[in-house]
Amino acid sequence: MESQFDLSFFQSKLKTHWIGQNVQYFKELQSTNTYAKKASPDEVQQGTVCITDHQTKGRGQYERNWESEKAKNLTFSLVFRPQESGRFHVLTLGCALAIVEYLNHFLDEHCAYIKWPNDVMLNDKKVAGLLAETVFSGNKLDRLIIGIGLNVNQQNFSPELSDKATSIFLEKGGPVKRELFLSDLLSRIEYKYNLWHRQQPSLIKSINRNIEGYGQWIKLVVDDILLDDTYKLLGVDETGKLLLLNHEGGIESFSYEQIRLLVD
Contacts with ligand BTN by CB under 6 A lie at 31-33, 55, 58-61, 64, 66, 75-77, 119, 129-131, 147-149
Give me the residues paired with residue 113 across strands: 121
Min. distance of Cβ 104 from ligand BTN in angstroms? Answer: 20
Min. distance of Cβ 251 from ligand BTN in angstroms? Answer: 28
Q: Which is nearer to ligand BTN, 22 or 230 (CB)?
A: 22
The length of the chain in residues reads 264
Rounded to whole angstroms, how far apart are CA atoms 257 and 76?
22
Min. distance of Cβ 256 from ligand BTN in angstroms? Answer: 13
Q: Which is nearer to ligand BTN, 60 or 234 (CB)?
A: 60
Q: Which is nearer to ligand BTN, 231 or 256 (CB)?
A: 256
189 residue type, one letter:
I
Residue 44 in contact with residue 80, Cβ under 8 Å? no
Q: Which is nearer to ligand BTN, 62 or 108 (CB)?
A: 62
Q: Which is nearer to ligand BTN, 67 or 252 (CB)?
A: 67
Dihedral, CA of residue 120, residue 231, residue 215 and residue 200, to nearest 10 = -70
Min. distance of Cβ 78 from ligand BTN in angstroms? Answer: 10
Of 226, 227, 257, whose CA–CA distance to 62 is shortest?
257
Question: What is the number of the residue whose Cβ is closest to ligand BTN?
Answer: 129
- DSSP letters of 169-215? HHHHTS---HHHHHHHHHHHHHHHHHHHHTT-HHHHHHHHHTBTTTT
Q: Which is nearer to ligand BTN, 78 or 220 (CB)?
A: 78
Min. distance of Cβ 77 from ligand BTN in angstroms? Answer: 5
Rounded to whole angstroms, how far apart are CA atoms 116 and 219?
13
Min. distance of Cβ 145 from ligand BTN in angstroms? Answer: 8
Half-sphere exposure at residue 104, Cβ-oriented, CA atoms within 13 angstroms = 14
